[in-house]
Amino acid sequence: MPPRPRVASDRASARPGGVPALVVATAAVMAATGYLIAPATSLAPTTAALLLAALAVLALIGLPSVSITSTATFTMLTSGVTVAALGVRPTTWSGALAVLAWIVAAVAVLVVVTHLRGAVGPPGNPLPAAADRPSWAGLAGRVALVSALAVAVAGLVLPVADNVQPSSRAGSRPRIPGADDATALASNETLDMTRRPRLSDRIVMRVRSDHATFWRIDSFDVWDGRRWTRSQDGFRFVDDGRLVAAPHDLGAAGGQVVRQTFTVVTPVTLALPAAPVATEVDAPARVYQREDGSMVLDTVLGEDSRYTVESHRTTATDDALAATTGPTPDEVLSRFAAPPVATERVRAAAEQAIAGATTRIEQVRAIERWMGERTEYSIDAPLAPTGVDVVDHFLFESRRGWCEQVASAFVVLARAVGLPARLATGYVPAERDPLTGEFVVRERHAHAWAEVWFPEVGWVPFDPTADVPAAGEDSVRDWTSWLATWWPRLVVAAVGLGALSFVAVRWWRRSRRDRRRSPSPAGRLEARLEAVGAGAGRARAPAESATAYGDALADHLGAADLATVGAVVDRALYADAPPDAVDVERAEAVLAAAEAGPPP
């Protein structure tokens, strides 16, 4: 048995740059793998990425006698199996980018491996001619094209694959939240306006929905000047997943149907956020509903639990709301429009705000404008002093507040002029994963807003915080908000256009080359010249002109006339004045002599 070669054949015969390119691509695959699987280990994402990338480099460089293409392929397949086995799903922009990096790097590995293996000829046969191997620019183009297609396929397949999963499931066992965990999803009996909310980047849940809506947990209708409570706190069991809406919750009977699937990330879940008005629920535990439609559980759910809710939301425009003329039930007026606990200057401000407004929607918009002109949003706003009305302090003293203070002030002002309103709390859709299409909901996406009752429509949500400018911000906010919303789509569009442009350019160039070569005498001369050179062991280089190639063959074969053939080809293809028929016939005669071989 012959001794094992000290250097594997695919390493020895690789074109310059082939091995480094494969090492870099494989290291990138493993770095992305490390970043993705880090949450399932005790390592930080950056540490895991660097560690796996270093191991990949050592495996490819430290074993010269082992096939580098086989090692790279095995490493890539192992990384894919690892990511799939751990059930890794990106829930952040960085995670989505890691998946995209893995796809591009894996495609690069496959392309370079195919290229290097093609450079190794079978025993007894010569290596492929240099002209038959694609250039590195061509390989880069292949990587870009296949990567773009892979990203597009992933963007189509992942959402579909997620939709065919069960609509509800029980996740891991509940556990006590640690320092790095998000706050438990739970309903609150009261909302204390003298305490600052906890806001962080910790992920609470992921939501799949075709519509961006508020996800409500609680609503409150009783205000004492410093905290919110609810006047009715009974529960009823949700039988067969169907919720029973209150008589005044008119939205449950119409509006747009919204289906949402929630995947819990926090380790403890006791309440089920949902878009109002929820009408059906599928959850892995017994569900109870309050009179306002908010849902709580009799069993604690753990991380990775899943539930699905179908809701009906109003799509009424301001014009449609202005046209509502029906009466407001006494129950709604007594519970939600009774004079609130408020100072005299708050009541006076409410009357001032709606001066000139006649319809209910005009009054709502007037209050929003009045607040937007006089207050600012700030999570660092001061707390109201002990014994002081929180709304009064926010509107006239600090003039700065977070969403709970802004929404509370709106509800109090609305009630002060007889508008039926209540406070709602939950989460808003502020971040969307570009790869999976899911909304990523974090602690800092917790929100409070107002709901105003309209005849024939029911409860309509209003977000007065959106009309209150953030402290220190100006018109730049609109631009950054637009960019944050649209730049993922712009990136996807750019990738798609780039891929289509690449395909179009390649097709155009190939068609042009075929048109130049096949039908024309010059094209046939060029093909015959390349065939003569390949038969003599001197293939044409990718960037070699026909003139230079003819000169090289003349030296290689000792046939000086071949130099004239290359010159004739270039003149026919690129010169303003093509060669005459005599030159073409002379070139054909030279090629015929070369094809016949030297005389015996």
Report pLDDT digits (tens) over 529-558: 888 888 888 888 877 888 889 898 888 888
Q: Regarding predicted confidence, which is higher, 219 or 485? A: 219
pLDDT at 122: 43
Query: Average pLDDT of 454-470?
Result: 82
Asked if pLDDT for residue 92 goes beyond 60, the answer is: no
Q: What would the DSSP string read from start to end of 309-326? A: EEEEE----HHHHHT--P
Quote the CA–CA distance of 383 and 372 in Å, as a whole number. Answer: 20
Asked if pLDDT for residue 153 goes beyond 50, the answer is: no
Asked if pLDDT for residue 372 goes beyond 50, the answer is: yes
Give the pLDDT band of residue 526 (cuts 50, 70, 90).
confident
Other Cβ atoms within 10 Å of 79 Cβ, number: 25
pLDDT at 42: 59
Question: Which structure tokens are listed for 420?
Answer: 């039926």
- In this structure, what are the phi and psi dihedrals at residue 342, rounded to the nearest 5 degrees? -160, 155
Lowest mean pLDDT among 95-104, 144-153, 158-167: 158-167
Asked if pLDDT for residue 159 goes beyond 70, the answer is: no
Q: Regarding predicted confidence, which is higher, 210 or 159? A: 210
- In this structure, what are the phi and psi dihedrals at residue 220, rounded to the nearest 5 degrees? -130, 145
Edge-first strand listing for the sheet containing 446-454: 215-220, 421-427, 446-454, 458-462
Lowest mean pLDDT among 41-45, 385-389, 579-583: 41-45
pLDDT at 298: 86
Shortest CA distance to 55 belongs to which of 78, 39, 36, 85? 78
Query: Average pLDDT of 176-186?
Result: 63
Supply the mean pLDDT for the chain.
79
Task: Give every CB contact of residue 61 below 8 A, 6+ residues apart in sequence.
Answer: 23
Other Cβ atoms within 10 Å of 433 Cβ, number: 21
**Residue 515 host element (H or E):** helix 476-517
Across 174-188, 490-504, 511-525, 576-590, the highest mean pLDDT is recorded for 576-590
pLDDT at 174: 57
Give the pLDDT band of residue 392 (cuts 50, 70, 90).
very high
Q: Regarding predicted confidence, which is higher, 326 or 474? A: 326
Lowest mean pLDDT among 79-83, 302-306, 400-404: 79-83
How far is the CA of 362 from the CAs of 358, 452, 455, in angstroms? 6, 12, 15
pLDDT at 415: 97
Rounded (to 5) percent helix, strand, coil in the chain: 50, 15, 35
**Which stretches of 488-593 are assigned E, i.e. beta strand?**
none
Query: Average pLDDT of 159-188?
Result: 58
Question: Which structure tokens are listed for 552?
Answer: 């090289």
Quote the CA–CA distance of 15 and 83 in Å, as a whole number. Answer: 32
Edge-first strand listing for the sheet containing 236-237: 236-237, 287-289, 295-301, 269-272
As beta bridge partners, residue 438 has none
**Residue 103 host element (H or E):** helix 93-118
Query: Average pLDDT of 358-384?
Result: 93
Give the pLDDT band of residue 100 (cuts 50, 70, 90).
confident
Which residue shows structure tokens 């890794």?
88
Asked if pLDDT for residue 457 goes beyond 60, the answer is: yes
Asked if pLDDT for residue 447 goes beyond 70, the answer is: yes
Across 143-147, 411-415, 503-507, the highest mean pLDDT is recorded for 411-415
Q: What is the pLDDT of residues 238-294, one digit of tens each?
A: 888 899 888 888 888 878 899 999 999 988 889 999 999 999 999 988 999 998 889
Question: Which structure tokens are listed for 384?
Answer: 């109201």
pLDDT at 252: 82
Shortest CA distance to 220 belongs to which of 257, 189, 199, 197? 189
Query: Average pLDDT of 292-300?
Result: 89
Query: Average pLDDT of 305-316?
Result: 91
pLDDT at 79: 83
DSSP 8-class letter at 215: E
pLDDT at 500: 57
**Which stretches of 428-582 are assigned E, i.e. beta strand?**
439-442, 446-454, 458-462
Asked if pLDDT for residue 441 goes beyond 80, the answer is: yes
Q: Which residues of 157-171 are buried (b: 16+ CB within 10 A; e: fewer)?
A: ebeeebeeeebbeeb
Reported pTM: 0.57
As beta bridge partners, residue 287 has 297
Question: Which structure tokens are listed for 62?
Answer: 């430290």
How far is the CA of 193 from the CAs of 224, 294, 346, 407, 453, in angstroms? 10, 21, 17, 11, 24
Give the pLDDT band of residue 399 (cuts 50, 70, 90).
very high
pLDDT at 442: 92
Q: What is the pLDDT of residues 319-346, one digit of tens each?
A: 999 999 889 999 999 999 999 999 999 9
Give the pLDDT band of residue 354 (cuts 50, 70, 90).
very high
Quote the CA–CA distance of 407 and 464 in Å, as a whole number. Answer: 6
CB 28 within 8 A of CB 101: yes
Q: Regarding predicted confidence, which is higher, 17 or 217? A: 217
Asked if pLDDT for residue 41 goes beyond 50, the answer is: yes
Query: Average pLDDT of 298-310?
Result: 89
Quote the CA–CA distance of 83 and 80 in Å, as a whole number. Answer: 5
**Residue 207 host element (H or E):** strand 203-209
How far is the CA of 585 from the CAs of 4, 267, 343, 521, in angstroms? 54, 84, 105, 10
CB 417 within 8 A of CB 350: yes
CB 453 within 8 A of CB 335: no
Asked if pLDDT for residue 149 goes beyond 70, the answer is: no
Give the pLDDT band of residue 485 (cuts 50, 70, 90).
very low
Across 69-78, 113-122, 391-400, 459-468, the highest mean pLDDT is recorded for 391-400
CA 282 to chain CA centroid, Å, is 27
Quote the CA–CA distance of 568 and 578 in Å, as a whole number. Answer: 8
> What angle (nearest 5°) sits at the alpha carbon of residue 394, between those of residues 391 and 400?
145
